[in-house]
Structure 1
Amino acid sequence: MTRHHPGTAAVATGNKYEIIGADVPDETLFKGDLLVASLSELPRSVNPIYYYDDTGSLLFERLCNEETYYLFRTERGILAEYAKTIAGITGPVSLIELGSGNAEKTTLLIDAYAGSHGLTSYAAVDINRSILERAAENILSVSSDLNFLGIVGTYQTGLAEIKSLVGPKLLFCLGSTIGNMHDDELDNLLLSARSALAPGDYFLVGIDLDKETKILEAAYNNQTAILTNLCVLEHLNWRFGADFDLFQFRHVAFHNKSLYRMESHLEAMQDQVININKLEFSFQIKKGELIRTEIMRKVEINAFSEMLGGYGFRQVEYWTDPGKRYAVILFKLRES
C-alpha cells in the first residue's frame, strides 16, 4: 500500500504501525442541535451514537457473549471458514476496514491474506485514536506480515483519505454496521465508498439476514441488551446535563416486519418532563410514549445486493452460516 504523495504520512513498514489524523471533536460527533431536533419531532428518536461511551463499549463486548445474541459469533464463524476463499478470489489487495473494534475478526482476514499473498497492508478507519492503537497492538501481536495504518476520522473523512492509496483494495465493513444506518446515512456511506474505490476494487459487507421473529427478538431482549439501551439515557445525562430517570423508562425491542428491521426503543413509564440543561431544552413525554434508539436492518440477500447494485457494486459471492442467519457478501465495483 503506497501513497501518491510521499510528503504525507507513509504506511509503516517492518511490522510497525502509524496513525494519522486528529481525534474527531465531540461536538462533531455529538451534535446537540440534532439531538434537540430528534427529541422534538414525533415519533421521538436518539442517534445510536449515544450507545458509544466507555460503559456502552463494555456492555457491547458483554452482549457479544450472550447466548441469544448470535451475530458476533456467527460472523466470526463465517470468516474463520471462508477467509482464505475470499483472499483467493480477490488476489493480493490492501485491506481497509471501517471501524476496527478489538480486531478479533479482522485478524482472520489478515491471516488469510498474509498466508496466501505474503506481506499485507491494512488500514483501519475509526473515530478514536486509542481504539486504533489497541487494534494495532492486537493485530501485530498475532500477524507478522503486516503494515498497519490507522486513520482517525469519520467514515467519510477516512474514505476520502484512502483515495491516495495506490493499488487494488478490499474495503470491508463487518459487524452488521451497515444495518444500523438510516437510509440517508447508508446513502452517504455507499457514495463515499464508491468514490474512494477504483473500478475492480472489492467491498466486503457483513449483514444480518431477516428471519423468524422469535430469534431476532431474543437477540435484542436479553439482560445485557436491556442495560445497553438504558445506558443511552445515562450518556445523555452526563454529556448534556439531562435528568432522565432510568427507572422511569423500560426497554422495548421488536421486529418491524414491514420495514425488515429490528427496532430498539425506550418507553416512558409515566408522564414526565425531561430537562437537558446544557442544551437549554425541555420536553414533555407521556406515559407509553417511545423514544427510538436504534434500528437494525435484517435483509434478504438478493434485495440487498440489488440495492448496492444501484451504487455500482456487483455481487461476486456470498457466504452464510449453516442456519442461514447471517451473511458475508463480497462485491466488486463495476467499470463506469
Structure 2
Amino acid sequence: METITTTTDLTFEQDIDEGLTAPLKNISSKYFYDDLGSVIFQDIMKMPEYYPTPCEFEILSLQGENIIKKLNFDEPFNIIEFGAGDGIKTRQLLKKLLENQVDFTYVPIDISQKAIEELEANMLGYLPGLKIKSIVGNYFSMIDELSEMQQPGLFLFLGSNIGNYLEEEANDLLGQFNNHMKSGDKLLIGFDLQKNPSVIRDAYDDSQGITKAFNMNLLQRINKELGGNFKKEFFDFYSHYNPLNGEVRSYLVSLKQQEVSISKIGKTYSFRQNELIWTELSKKYTIAEIENLAINNGFELVEHFLDCKHYFTDSLWTK
C-alpha cells in the first residue's frame, strides 16, 4: 500500500471571493468535501430517500461479472477512481475482480486525507489481497500525472458526480479525460437518470435536515479556513428540481440583510434579505443525453449497466 499526497489547490480564497461578488452569489460544490463534509455526505448516502447509492451498489454488486467481461484487458491494469469517498460501492467490483484472479492496482483519489485513510482501512480489512496506491489531492490536477502510467486504465467516475457540472464544464472535463487516456482505456461513469420528480425532490431535501447541514458546512468551512464570520442561523437551505431540464439546484438563503467579513481575503460581503447563494447543480440525464455526451467527447459506448428500477446507470465507455 502506498499513499501519495499532492500539493493542495490554492484557489479556495479566489473562488470564494469570485463567487461572493458574482451577480448570483455561488460557492462551488467541490468545496463540500472537507473532512466534516465527507462525514456528512456519508450520512446522506445512508438516508432512505437517497436512492443513488443503493442503486449503484446494486449495479456494482450484481453486474460485476458482466462489467469485467466488457473491460477486455489482457494484461495488468490500474483502476483509477476520482472522488473515491468511502469506496463501499467500488469494493463490490474490486471483490469480483479479485475473485476472478484479475491482476490490477486500485488507485483511489480523494481531496480528503481522512477519507483516504478510512478508505484504505476499510478496503484492506475487507479485501486483504488488494494492491492499493492512494492519492490525496484534487483530481483535476492529477490528470497529467495519471496519463504517464504505462499500464492500461479503467477510470471510475461514479456516484453521478458528472451531474454537478454545467454542460460546458462536463464536456470540458470529459474532454480532458479523453485527452489523457490511452487507446483502449475504459471509463465507467455514473449517471442519475430522470424519473418521477417526487423521488428526486425527496432525495435532495430530506426531512432530517442532513442535506441542509451538508450545505451549511460550506459556511463553517469558510469560517474555519478563511476567517469568516458567517452565522448559520442567519441562513436557510432551499432545493428545487426542474423535471423539464433534469436539474436539481440547491441554494443557501440569506434570512436578513447582513454583512459578512472574511479576514484572509480582507473583504466584507453584503447580502440582501432572501438573497441566494447557489451551492450545487445535480443534473439527471436521459439515456439519449448520455450517449450524445460520450460521442461528443470522443468516446465509444460499450454498454449501460442499469439498476432494476432504471433509476441509475453506470455506463462503460472506451477511447
Query: How far did 1:117 drift?
Result: 4.1
> What is the TM-score when the length of structure 2 is the normalising length?
0.91
What's 1:10 paired with? none
Contact 2:35 2:114 in 1 (8 A): no
Equivalence for 2:61? 80
2:271 aligned with 1:271: no
Q: What is the one-letter code of the residue matched to 1:163?
A: S
Confirm whether residue 64 of structure 1 aligns to residue 38 of structure 2.
no
2:90 is matched with: 106
The 1:248/1:132 distance shift into structure 2, 3 A limit, reads: closer
Tell me what 2:6 maps to: 23
> Which structure 2 residues correspond to residues 162-173 of structure 1 after superposition, within 5 A?
162-173=146-157
Choose from 122, 144, 161 the match for 1:138.
122
Please give the alpha-carbon distance, in whole angstroms, between the structure 1 residues aligned to 2:163 and 2:170.
9
Q: Counterparts of 2:145 and 2:6 in 1: how far apart (Å)?
A: 15
CA–CA distance in 1 between the matches of 2:30 and 2:177? 21
Question: Are residues 1:45 and 2:26 paired?
Answer: yes
Matched AA of 1:68: E
Deviations 1:33-56 (A, max 9, x none): 221111111111111133222321
Cross-structure match for 1:118: 102
Residue ranges of structure 1 left out of the alignment (5+ in a row): 1-16
Deviation at 1:66, TM superposition (A): 1.0
Aligned twin of 1:8 = none
Tell me, in whole angstroms, the C-alpha distance in 1 between the residues paired with 2:33 and 2:140.
Answer: 18
- SS in structure 2 at match of 1:199: coil
Work out whether residues 34 and 112 of structure 2, in 8 Å CA contact, stay in contact via their aligned partners in 1: no
Q: What is the deviation of 1:67? A: 1.1
Give the 3-state SS of the residue equivalent to 1:165 in structure 2.
coil
Q: 1:307 to 1:252 in 2, by over 3 A?
A: same
Q: Is 2:231 the counterpart of 1:245?
A: yes
2:160 and 2:223 mapped to 1: Cα distance? Answer: 28
Aligned residue type for 1:274: V
Contact 2:33/2:112 (CA < 8 Å) preserved in 1?
no
For 1:57 and 1:157, the matched residues in 2 are separated by 20
Which residue is 1:159 aligned to?
143
1:129-278 equivalences in 2 (<5 Å):
129-222=113-206, 223-278=209-264
Match in the other structure for 2:283: 297
Aligned equivalents of 2:44, 2:59: Cα separation in 1: 19
Whether the 8 Å contact between 2:241 and 2:249 is mirrored in structure 1 is: yes
CA distance in 2, matches of 1:106, 1:299: 22
CA displacement at 1:145 relative to structure 2: 4.2
Q: CA deviation at 1:107?
A: 1.1
